[in-house]
Structure 1
């Protein structure tokens, strides 16, 4: 059984490896293995993850069973949109998907900012499994965006009203 807990600095190497594995499994067919390796080296390095861990107005969680990490999630309050939390990352290793781990991490993350009225995220338009997952959680498509700056990755913008 996996438990959701706040991530610590000692988790970051495992989280980096988890993200690399998950990204390759999900995005190699869309972007190619070399591009995915480039993205993960930049976005999912231990220093990049440490910066997220240290950011104020954010929450970084992992799903841990005492032996390994099966997933990670990261949400931060938007700097541009008041009362909006931005779900930046929610990933579960492929071998543990469809077991409720993502749902459990999301349940924790959506309660982290009681003043937030909305949660927003970006998702790759061709990632049907992720889109379906977020729709089941109550997210709706509100627009499109480009993710990753110079990388120019397409994204759907999904949003959920947070009612507590």
Structure 2
């Protein structure tokens, strides 16, 4: 059984490896392994994860069974949008998907931001499993972007939102 807990410095190597595995499983068919390697090196390095772990007004959780980490999620209050929390990452290892781990991490993050009125995220339009997950949890499309994650990624995304209250 996996328990959701706040991530710590000692988890970062495992989380980085988890992100590399889940990104290759999710995105190689869309972008190719080289692009996934490039983005993973930039966004999912231990240093990048450490910066997220240390950010104020954020929550970084993992699903842990005492032997391994099966999932991770990270959300932070928006610097640009008032009363909006941004779900930056929610990933579960492929072999543990559809076991409620994503749901449990998502529920934990929803409760961590009492002042937020909405949650927002970006999702790859071709990632039908992620879209189905988020829609099942009450998200609706509100916009689109040509640069998911940062201004230079060149990766299109749907922007989804959910009211929290």
Shared fold (TM-score, shorter chain, > 0.5): yes
Where does residue 142 of structure 2 map in the other structure? 142
1:103-156 deviation line (CA, Å, top 9, x unaligned)? 000000011110100000000000010000000000001110121322211000
CA root-mean-square deviation: 0.5
Name segments (4+ residues, structure 1) moved above 4 Å.
none
Instruction: Show the 5 A alignment for 1:98-117.
Output: 98-117=98-117
User: Following the alignment from structure 1 to structure 2, what is the Cα–Cα distance between the partners of residues 131 and 156?
Assistant: 9
User: Following the alignment from structure 1 to structure 2, what is the Cα–Cα distance between the partners of residues 113 and 39?
Assistant: 28
Where does residue 161 of structure 1 map in the other structure? 163
1:45-79 deviation line (CA, Å, top 9, x unaligned)? 00000000000000000000000000000000000
User: Following the alignment from structure 2 to structure 1, what is the Cα–Cα distance between the partners of residues 77 and 109?
Assistant: 11
Instruction: Show the 5 A alignment for 1:34-113.
Output: 34-113=34-113
User: Following the alignment from structure 1 to structure 2, what is the Cα–Cα distance between the partners of residues 97 and 149?
Assistant: 30
User: Following the alignment from structure 1 to structure 2, what is the Cα–Cα distance between the partners of residues 144 and 45?
Assistant: 27
User: Following the alignment from structure 2 to structure 1, what is the Cα–Cα distance between the partners of residues 106 and 152?
Assistant: 29
Where does residue 32 of structure 2 map in the other structure? 32
1:70-96 deviation line (CA, Å, top 9, x unaligned)? 000000000001100000000000000
Query: Which ranges of structure 1 fall in alignment gaps of 5 or more residues?
Result: none
User: Following the alignment from structure 1 to structure 2, what is the Cα–Cα distance between the partners of residues 120 and 42?
Assistant: 22
TM-score (norm 2): 0.98
User: Following the alignment from structure 2 to structure 1, what is the Cα–Cα distance between the partners of residues 80 and 27?
Assistant: 28
